[in-house]
Structure 1
Amino acid sequence: MKKVVIAASAVLAMGATTVSAADLGAKMYKKAPPIVAAYDPWDVAFGASITNNYLFRGVSQSNNRPSVTAYFEPRYNVNKDLQLYIGTSASSISFANRAALEIDGYFGIRPTFGAAAFDFGFWYYGYPGGQCIDFDPAGTAGVCGVGAGAATLPNGNVMKKDVSFYEVYGKFAYTFNDYFTMGVSDNYSPNFLNTGAWGNYAAITAKAIAPSTWFGTSGVGMYASGEFGRQWLGTSDSFYSFAAPGIGPGIKYADYNTWNVGIGFTYKVFTLDLRYSDTNLSKGDCNAFTSDFTASQPGFATPINGGFGSSWCGATGIVKLSADLTAMQNLK
């Protein structure tokens, strides 16, 4: 699953991108005597980050441990109000199927109309290096198939070898003034995490930027931001059937809410983000959804979970340090 965040959250990152895109359009016009202004529509954004816990929509993708991310995004500005982009990113993860890397590819279009900014695109989440996780050590009656050479987990959780999937998304952000922006977004996948279940995530975000005078001439900036989202999920295929693994009709994953709030400090290309994140997903339903390989505490039985509980979906504090650059703005 994808990070809520490579940034504090996927939607908040859209707000930041919108601002940089607007700034980019202004900076690409240079004075040239006497009449014609030179214009180079191409630009590249790239960066990296490290965090103590990689969360994607409130759920840990890194087993509540540190994670690093890097991204590369070429952009083409049709004009100052329309940007096309394509990009890729990579993040360290820790999944039950032993996948340790997430490699994403995405593309889209970002039109702006004054203070209103839109973003429409396609995102592919790839998880190479996975191994099918069975519930039967002999592989004779398991979900991976006879002779599949599957691994097993002590808690009985199962996971497919390949959990890659894609989403389409739409985002909208409105900048009220130099200090406040709000946004909404929606992401849809017909086969979330290759479970067979559809997924739809909708969120609302807000970001307030402190006046630059707060820190004098130091160059330090500050912001406060938050997000509230809801993840709807459909029914899995028979691979994840709770009553009879590999045989039954699958399980209806629990829908859940997630939220986060935090503050950030910026200096040149660097951002330090401190955030609190939580969900209302129970430990039992979290285990059924994530197939958490660390789940061992009993007593969390639900209609879709056998009894072990997962800590991957609970309240947590996030510290993230990132560096974000664009060729036009930072490499001249």
Structure 2
Amino acid sequence: MTTQAWIEKIFNAGTADQAELALELFHYQYSQNSLYRDYTDALKVKPAQVTQPEQIPFLPIRFFKTQPVITTQFEPALVFESSGTTGMINSRHLVKDAAIYEASFNKAFGQFYANPREWCIIGLLPAYLERQHSSLVYMVDRLIQQSVHPASGFYLYEYDRLAALLKELEAAGQKVWLIGVTFALLDFAEQYPQPLKHTVILETGGMKGRREELIRPAVHEKLQQAFGLSSVHAEYGMTELLSQAYSTGKGLFNCPPWMQVAVREEEDPLAVRFRGNKAVSGAINVIDLANLYSCAFIATDDAGRIYPDGSFEVLGRLDNSDLRGCSLLVV
């Protein structure tokens, strides 16, 4: 299975083909990823009997903290590392080929926001810029390069400069995609409120110990009031994944076709459910077909709820799980 062949498969396949692709990738990773094979065998799951995505074992996300999660042997082109907090062990995602990640976030951006060239793209990500190996910074940097707008770029704590720029861009009717870590967006909103009619604000989560933790609805309400917005967008992504889901309002996320979210029962982690005829809550599992060379089947430490139309919301962190740098408290 070559990188390019897999890129062609997953990003051009229809939604109906995703289950078949997930099963194909499960068998490939079982044979080529010793850690995932050992975990699957420990659960006494027989690959030949796995015929539905619900039967695929999901690897607990904490394995990324303690050992390499790799499919095939390779020297990584990129190493992404989670932010965490002081004293924590950070997750590490070894990426064999940057082309898969770039194809994933470019395709997803195109699905939710069209062409980056239509936007002035601004990253308000001070905490992420102050460390290395951030997958988020890598993504935003590449989108900034594609936007070609002269004002696109990263801003640290230059809130006065950013406020002046947004005023200028608003006057020109320029579409702006402003992605920011939560504490920085709230600081900016308090110091420089202004009406924004042509700007999408997308928060990535993250207080980093800088402010009191707030649930997502409270964060969005503050930002909506400060900037006169009807909605605030959000991203659901993490170091261990090469794909992102996006919310365009009300905290409801949607996945691109090659990414799927399910929920598992906390008491029975093998009891996995995708969408049904009513909302289903539990711990979030993710199938990310872009994770060709790590593990595509991840049992996260997030709690969530999936709706019949396939959208989902994140309710917070599971009890006894490490708080990530981009975490929100449980509702």
TM-score > 0.5 by shorter chain: no
Superposition TM-score, scaled by structure 1 size: 0.24
Superposition TM-score, scaled by structure 2 size: 0.24
Higher relative contact order (CA 8 A, sep 6+): 2
Q: Which has the higher helix share?
A: 2
